[in-house]
């Protein structure tokens, strides 16, 4: 991702307007996490103003010294919760909703972010999640802390990199933890499992998604019930993934590539990648053993020119360094450069990230003629 975050990074001053609080006509409801109670951006409050007063809304209070960052606000009862980076560290902060006084400030972890050289967008990207008397917060480095909502006392903490094998994306971890019942679900990403569920009271690992191993991206988990099955839906750089398989929307466009009018080529890595995908579908129960075998045999019969990756690794590494994409992706791009062709991909973020690079002519979104 080459574009900068699209919100102002200044949290030095928090301004609250009077009409943001309950009046005789309204009853303020809790907003305990990113995008509200159901993570859908919808408020159940009624009787709200339809237009600002001519002189503008009255200022209720102003709070300063909260630090820098991109964190939003969680509101529960008479308290507000947010995050901010100061000189020495990043903090999760509680304020009085009545007057903006800082009630407590607890160190979440290191300040700053793993931004690329020459770029600087400091501060956390997480909106704290409040569940009962617990508050969960995450900084851009993947340091997650659970604190007591009353006094900010740290109860437990986890490190996405050390504890789960995750690695921050280019602009740092940008997730707001999801609390679902007795568990808190997060996305460290990586080969050990992209998503992790923890006991929200102790931080004990309940599960890590071994069959879903994408790297983390700039997204928070959404719970959903689809087909009568409770699911966690998450967006990564490689896919939109759910704990259960969902049909791919681009299948028709992919099939059109087999119409005989295209010369199709791929590095030999594609065989292992496809075999692993078919295996995952079989493990999830989407395919039985015979269907999986038939599918891989059909794949191996497709008119693909397969190229030895041995001779592509060196140029792929250089492309990966230049574009900050994996060597796996860059193998396909290296082959396209070698053959003078284009990589057809369903990964729109990859296409967008390389728009201004010398490799843009070698990438084409799936479905584009």
Residues 276-298 have a mean pLDDT of 82
Summarize pLDDT for 131-168 with one digit per residue, the tens.
Answer: 999 999 999 999 999 999 999 999 999 999 999 999 88
Same domain, 229 and 271: no
- What is the spatial distance between Cα 363 and Cα 66, in angstroms, rounded to a whole number? 43
In a domain, 7, yes or no: no
**Beta-carbon count within 10 A of 323 CB:** 18
Question: Is residue 168 left, alpha or beta, with left meaning phi > 0 and alpha meaning psi from -120 to 50?
Answer: beta
Same domain, 172 and 43: yes
Q: Is the dihedral of CA 20, 35, 109, 149 positive or negative?
A: positive
Q: What is the pLDDT of residue 152?
A: 98
Q: What is the pLDDT of residue 296?
A: 82
Summarize pLDDT for 205-223 with one digit per residue, the tens.
Answer: 999 998 888 889 889 999 9
Same domain, 87 and 172: yes
Q: What is the pLDDT of residue 125?
A: 94
Tell which of 242, 262, 291 closes a domain.
242
- CATH for 213: 2.40.128.630
Same domain, 354 and 217: no
- Residue 138 CA, distance from chain mean position: 12
Contact 1, 349 (CB under 8 A): yes
- What is the spatial distance between Cα 29 and Cα 36, in angstroms, rounded to a whole number? 10
In a domain, 281, yes or no: yes
- Pairing state between β 264-267 and 304-307: parallel
Q: What is the pLDDT of residue 171?
A: 85
Same domain, 147 and 118: yes
b/e per residue 19-50 (b: at least 16 CB within 10 A): eeeeeeeeeeeebbbbebeebeeeeeeeeeee
Summarize pLDDT for 2-27 with one digit per residue, the tens.
Answer: 333 333 333 334 555 444 433 333 34
Distances (CA, A) of 38 to 30, 79, 114, 224: 11, 19, 30, 10
**Helix 269-283 to helix 327-339 angle, to the nearest 10 degrees?**
140
Smallest Cα–Cα separation from 16: which of 72, 70, 57? 57
- Residue 57 CA, distance from chain mean position: 35
- CATH for 354: 3.40.50.1010
Summarize pLDDT for 56-77 with one digit per residue, the tens.
Answer: 888 999 999 999 999 999 999 9
- What is the spatial distance between Cα 271 and Cα 305, in angstroms, rounded to a whole number? 12
Tell which of 183, 211, 242 closes a domain.
242
In a domain, 2, yes or no: no
Same domain, 74 and 200: yes
Q: What percent of the chain has pLDDT over 70?
A: 83
Average pLDDT, the chain: 83
Q: Is the pLDDT of residue 249 over 60?
A: no
Same domain, 62 and 174: yes
Q: Which residue has the tokens 């617990």?
A: 134
Indicate the number of domains in the chain.
Answer: 2
Same domain, 234 and 302: no
- What is the spatial distance between Cα 185 and Cα 169, in angstroms, rounded to a whole number? 18
Residues 6+ apart with CB under 8 A from 292: 278, 279, 281, 282
- Range name among 128-142, 177-191, 215-229 with the lowest pLDDT average: 215-229
Residue numbers of the domain that contains 191: 13-242
Cβ-based burial of 298 (10 A; exposed 0-12, middle 13-18, buried ≥19): exposed
């Amino acid at each position: 991702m080459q574009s900068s975050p699209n919100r102002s990074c200044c949290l030095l001053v928090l301004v609250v307007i009077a009409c943001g609080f309950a009046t005789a006509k309204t009853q303020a409801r809790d907003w305990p996490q990113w995008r509200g109670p159901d993570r859908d951006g919808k408020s159940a409050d009624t009787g709200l103003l339809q237009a600002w007063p001519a002189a503008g809304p009255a200022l209720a209070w102003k709070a300063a010294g909260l630090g820098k960052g991109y964190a939003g606000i969680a509101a529960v009862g008479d308290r507000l919760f947010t995050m901010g980076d100061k000189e020495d560290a990043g903090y999760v902060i509680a304020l009085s909703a009545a007057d903006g006084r800082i009630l407590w400030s607890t160190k979440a972890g290191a300040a700053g972010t793993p931004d690329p050289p020459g770029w600087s967008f400091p501060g956390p990207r997480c909106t704290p999640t409040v569940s009962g008397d617990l508050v969960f917060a995450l900084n851009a480095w993947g340091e997650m802390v659970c604190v007591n909502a009353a006094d900010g006392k740290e109860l437990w903490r986890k490190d996405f990199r050390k504890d789960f094998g995750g690695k921050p994306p280019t602009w740092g971890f940008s997730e707001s933890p999801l609390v679902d019942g007795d568990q808190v679900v997060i996305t460290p990403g990586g080969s050990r499992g992209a998503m992790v569920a923890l006991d929200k009271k102790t931080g004990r690992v309940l599960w890590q998604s071994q069959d879903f191993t994408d790297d983390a991206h700039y997204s928070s988990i959404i719970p959903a019930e689809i087909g009568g099955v409770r699911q966690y839906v998450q967006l990564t750089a490689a896919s939109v993934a759910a704990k259960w398989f969902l049909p791919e929307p681009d299948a028709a466009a992919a099939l059109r590539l087999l119409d005989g009018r295209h010369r199709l080529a791929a590095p030999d890595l594609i065989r292992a990648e496809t075999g692993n995908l078919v295996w995952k579908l079989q493990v999830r129960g989407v395919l039985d053993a015979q269907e999986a075998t038939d599918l891989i045999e059909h794949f191996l019969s497709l008119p693909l020119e397969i190229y030895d990756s041995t001779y592509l690794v060196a140029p792929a590494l250089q492309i990966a360094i230049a574009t900050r994409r994996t060597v796996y992706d860059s193998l396909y791009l290296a082959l396209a450069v070698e053959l003078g062709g284009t990589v057809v991909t369903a990964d729109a973020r990859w296409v967008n990230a390389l728009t201004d690079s010398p490799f843009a002519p070698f990438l084409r979104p799936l479905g584009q003629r």
